[in-house]
Amino acid sequence: MIGVSPKQVKQTAADKLLPAGVGFRVTQAPGRLRKTALTEVDHLIVVAASRPPPSLWRELPGLRSLQPRIKRLGKLAAGRALRGMLGNSTTAATLGLLPAPAAGSKAALPGTFRLLGFAGALVADALAEEPRSVGLVVHGMEADDARRIAKAVVLALGAHGWQAPAFRKEHRPATLKKVQLLGLHEQIDLQRPFAEIEGLNMVRGLTALPANKLTATTYRELLAGLAARHGWEFEWLDEKALAKLGAGAFLAVAQGNASRDAGIARLRYRPGGQTGQPDLALIGKGIIFDTGGTNSKSAIHMLDMHTDMSGSAVALAVLQALSALRSPLSVDCWLAITENRSGASAYKQRDVVTAANGLTVEVVHTDAEGRMVLADALALAGRDKPRLMLDYATLTGACVHALSERYSGTFSNRDTLNELLIRVGQESGERVWPFPMDEDFDDDLKSKVADISQCISGGEADHILAARFLQRFVPEGIPWVHVDLAAATRKDGLAHVPGSCTGFGLRYSLSLLLDHAADLQELASPGTQPRHR
């Protein structure tokens, strides 16, 4: 075991692997729109209703050249990025006409997912020529709607301005340095969007790192640096410490590694010096490279397995965002960090191992390693009796097949949470769908030689069986939600996030924990009925 207090931790070279924070500065000029300010930026984004009122052309006469194009497109103009120049100036302009809200909705704006996607399209157009400064005008909207639109555009600017890790000799830094919000009803608070941008890009940056850059050792050093920066307590449970704790499921996966640097990290955030049981435990799967183990993956399925640690990055980013926002929640964050390698010492099918809660597990498939490392992380996290447990993992291909990469799956030991989990996904723009957790699924996990089988040999309902397996390691009485991150990566991006790593889970978790804290407490309270075990 390696224990580190915030004051003892020193910054290391691994800290350089972290993505930079928000790379641009935002200024705000609310109230009457100053015409000269429009041409002081390199690119102007203007958002208006799907049917722009005549006042748009009066207040921004430089956009009149777009009127004939809008008339030709008709209804097809809504939701599109229309490019032009701002009159005779050198300022380029992107006009976006809002897509219509869902049929039957009384809202003026589309849902969050569509609004973020719309903002992402506008920002992609605006940043195509690498401007150093961007302005935003939201025309003709009520104050609350204008605020939502402005925050969506700022989030999109943060997502599109991010640069993936690259190890080229020549490096071109991001060009965007200044964003101006012009003519809003009032100045808006951007603390939450900035925390979301930094958290999102942390997930994307860590997930995109090659496995020889983000090793278990550099991950540990990186966590130590973050602990020092944010004032967290940090503890690294190495293999010897985990053996003493009986974490045989994690150690079975780690035993095939070439080096003995795997471990489970524990980070503690205690606002105001709180003591006692934590309000929240965040648990993340941190498989920094997954070969499939003895049951090796094919080359095409192994190609991007450096992203299999995305769950740990999400848990870490949620902790960072809660800390940055000075949440009153006391939080423990547990990250199970190892590779899953093949070789003479790797674990095998039909091995029987003992997990940290004393349950014996029969190994059926070595590529089901995620549930093994999470089993011990959940069991260890549960010893401190947190009031809520949330875990994140790129756990099963079955969840991707069920939902695609547009949604992620949720699973809980509280039926009462399911409606809230869906609603939070709709409001945050990170959509989820809850799956059944009926008791009879356990029939498939019965073993003749151990307390439980790790999985079945076929793929039927593997995402549900994985969740039922994990539930056995959550102490009874503790509300728990498992997020199977089917949407962790998507080639075409998701909502406002372009390309590949999406950072899915960060906005969702903040919405659940901060915007719906009262609902969550009520629905997950000890008085509610847990799913029958």
Beta-bridge mates of residue 410: 434, 483
Residue 149 has pLDDT above 70, yes or no: yes
Largest interatomic CA distance in the chain = 79
Percent of the chain's residues with pLDDT above 70: 96
Q: Catalytic residue, from 371, 414, 431, 507: name it.
A: 371
Question: Hunting for tokens 């990250």 — which residue is that?
Answer: 335
Amino acid residing at 176? L
Q: Is 26 left (phi over 0), alpha (psi -120 to 50) or beta?
A: beta
pLDDT tens digits for 408-456?
999 999 999 999 999 999 999 999 999 999 999 999 999 999 999 999 9
Token readout for 486 is 């089917």
Give the DSSP H/E element, type plus range, for residue 254. Answer: helix 248-254
pLDDT tens digits for 285-302?
999 999 999 999 999 999
Select from 425, 367, 364, 354 the least CA-distant residue to 394: 367
Contact criterion met (CB below 8 Å) for 343 and 292: no
Q: How far is CA 284 from CA 16, 219, 333, 377, in A?
A: 22, 13, 8, 8
Separation between Cα atoms, residue 204 and residue 202, nearest integer Å: 5
pLDDT tens digits for 336-366?
999 999 999 999 999 999 999 999 999 999 9
Separation between Cα atoms, residue 72 and residue 459, nearest integer Å: 51
Burial of 338 (0-12, 13-18, 19+ CB in 10 A): buried
371 in active site: yes
| pLDDT recorded at residue 19 | 74
Token readout for 438 is 């009926």
**Which residues, 6+ apart, have CB-to-CB distance to 330 below 8 Å?**
268, 269, 270, 271, 274, 276, 278, 279, 280
Separation between Cα atoms, residue 498 and residue 421, nearest integer Å: 25
Contact criterion met (CB below 8 Å) for 421 and 329: no
Question: Hunting for tokens 């105001």 — which residue is that?
Answer: 272
Strand 352-354 versus strand 360-362 pairing type: antiparallel
**Which residues, 6+ apart, have CB-to-CB distance to 517 below 8 Å?**
none
| pLDDT recorded at residue 6 | 42
Residue 171 has pLDDT above 80, yes or no: no
| pLDDT recorded at residue 13 | 65
More confident position, 102 or 66? 66
Contact criterion met (CB below 8 Å) for 393 and 284: yes
Residues in the chain: 533
Burial of 83 (0-12, 13-18, 19+ CB in 10 A): middle
**Alpha helix (H) residue ranges in 366-523:** 369-382, 397-403, 418-428, 462-471, 506-510, 517-523
Q: Catalytic residue, from 69, 178, 297, 423: name it.
A: 297
Q: In the structure, what pLDDT confidence band is assigned to residue 529 with cuts at 50, 70 and 90?
A: low
Token readout for 150 is 């402005």
Delineate the domains of the chain, giving CATH numbers in brackets: 21-189 (3.40.220.10), 196-491 (3.40.630.10)
Q: How far is CA 59 from CA 78, 255, 266, 493, 505, in A?
A: 20, 67, 55, 35, 40
pLDDT tens digits for 229-264?
999 999 999 999 999 999 999 999 999 999 999 999
Give the DSSP H/E element, type plus range, for residue 338. Answer: strand 331-340
Token readout for 348 is 């095998």
Beta strands in 22-140, from DSSP E residues, in sequence order: 25-29, 43-48, 81-85, 92-97, 133-138
Separation between Cα atoms, residue 206 and residue 213, nearest integer Å: 10
Select from 121, 123, 97, 127 the least CA-distant residue to 110: 97
**Three-class SS of residue 151?**
helix
51 in active site: no
Separation between Cα atoms, residue 115 and residue 503, nearest integer Å: 18
| pLDDT recorded at residue 105 | 77
Q: In the structure, what pLDDT confidence band is assigned to residue 8 with cuts at 50, 70 and 90?
A: very low
Separation between Cα atoms, residue 167 and residue 169, nearest integer Å: 7
| pLDDT recorded at residue 526 | 59
Task: Give me the numbers of helices (H) and strands (E) for the chain, helices first please.
Answer: 17, 18
pLDDT tens digits for 455-505?
999 889 999 999 999 999 999 999 999 999 999 999 999 999 998 899 999
Amino acid residing at 425? G
Separation between Cα atoms, residue 478 and residue 390, nearest integer Å: 11
